[in-house]
Chain A
Amino acid sequence: MSGTETKGTSPAAPDLTPHPPAMPVEHPAPDDSLGGEEMVLNMGPQHPSTHGVLRLVVTLQGETVKSIVPHVGYLHRGMEKIAEGMTYNQFIPYTDRMDYLAPLSTNVGYILAVEKLMGITVPPRARVIRVMCCEIARISAHLLWLGTGALDLGAATVFFHTFRERETLYNIIESLTGGRLTTSYPRVGGLCRDLPPGWTKQVADFTASFPKVLDELDNLLTGNTIWMQRTQGVGVIGAPEAIALGVSGPNLRGSGVAYDVRKTEPYLEYETYEFDVPIGSKGDVFDRYLVRLEEMRQSIRILDQALRRLPEGPINIDDPKIVLPPKKGVLTKMEELIQQFMIVTEGFPAPEGEAYHAIEAPKGELGFYIRSTGGKSPYRLHIRSPSFVSLQAIEKMAVGGLVSDLIAIIASLDPVMGEVDR
């Protein structure tokens, strides 16, 4: 790790700069009981370590991976086609089901693309709340990755600790949105409702207690000899190859490229928040692990700043053609009733044109491309999901390694199939 990285605060945390002493990574020559013959192994689509329905056809010689062919599409629901028959707001629930580990972040990514196309800027309070949504989603997604990734390599304890913290986060998400998994919280032009009473206290309690837990998790794994042997020098990808493949997010930063959309193309005033972009140096599984661990600390920093600056004020833009009127008005006033009726049944037209907007989702650059011909629904919606692109790198990382390392590599890429297949 280099440059912007900050170390864990616990006194027992090992020094991470430079890498802990390198473990021998050469493995003994595998036993050649097949007489040099190759074996084709089918892994998935139902396999616990593929985190969903990913199928890999692996050609092995002994235990060495000779070639690997990924098959995706088992979770295809035709979201891009469905979007063509819906109003812009109607599509929000579908974005929950893309990266279902960080639905708040996917919601915000989609809404920002629509708002870019329509030329909308939401009020300050909505911007800060959206930033908090994105960072809560990032911590929650990284915690799941950490727990299951460690579980895949046999470290079961970590899983229970991360899921306890995720439970707290899901309670926070539930009191904000009413749902734990399917949030559908933002709307075009703002948010569907304001913060519930006591919500900021819930978040403040979490940001106060979580760094200690993170240090514990850090202690459990970072200096652990077994963990280091399983992850160091495994699944290496260099920066030039990763860039040429379009890999983004923590997977690219693990290879030492400080590309973070929040820094390079700051949306929602991310340029006014103080946070660092951690990067790795070797591009192996261990570096990607360190990067994600540090990103959770940075998300806590952002959450703290957002809590301090959270302004009072409206959460929606003042445009009755786009934003639903308050329910009380709908039940008592004719005009509001008509407004609600028109928005729900007819939607609102977007200007003709095309727009692409990217956000830094927990998995990397999540982009929505919208082609509008002026109607209430997109003529074409394309979702550039980071997991889909990252999965391409699996061949570069796994070929030549051992089949058991493949498990570590899949976990370190952190793909979520809902987003790959859409």
Chain B
Amino acid sequence: MRLAILDNGHGFGTKALFAFIRTVSRQPVLDVVKLVKYRPGFYGNPMSALTQEAMRGPSTWSVGDRELMAAFVAKTIHCEFCTKAHSAVAQKAYRDGKNVSAVLSDLDLTVIEEPLRATLLMLGKLTREHAVNADDIRAVLVAGASRQQIEGALAVCFSFNVIGRLADAFGFSVPGLEAFEAGAKYLLARGYR
């Protein structure tokens, strides 16, 4: 990472935790974990609470839908780390890896529910162009998404614009598939707390 403090500036207890994670998972500690555990009172704790609410709080979007939105937003901002990480979680949540890859490759050609497709299109435009207008939102409502669902999707978008930008800015390492698989299992079982 571009800041040495994020690699090795943690306290003794956190370093011991990282050693435990490496031993049990037989995988490197993901840089996203190192980030949230560095001075956690500043960023990691309040951001984890926010992300838990967006990704696992009450919603009529499924966990898979929200993880797919996270991967889609990450892909839109060209964040390889978060795209791979949250594709892996969405694939496990849906038990359908093929469709997740298809959505990320070409949303127009993939068969998914219209409210989800329209929502992803809106999140993509917002993230790419830094703007959406009332007509863009009406298109999502017409497709069948509720106001609450749009608010929920915007919460996911907030989280992953933050995390994806930080992953790229701080220079997260992108590990192999096995590390993302282990991370996906953890996130499905334990969430973001």
**A and B assemble together:** no
Point out residues on B near A: beta carbons under 8 Å.
none
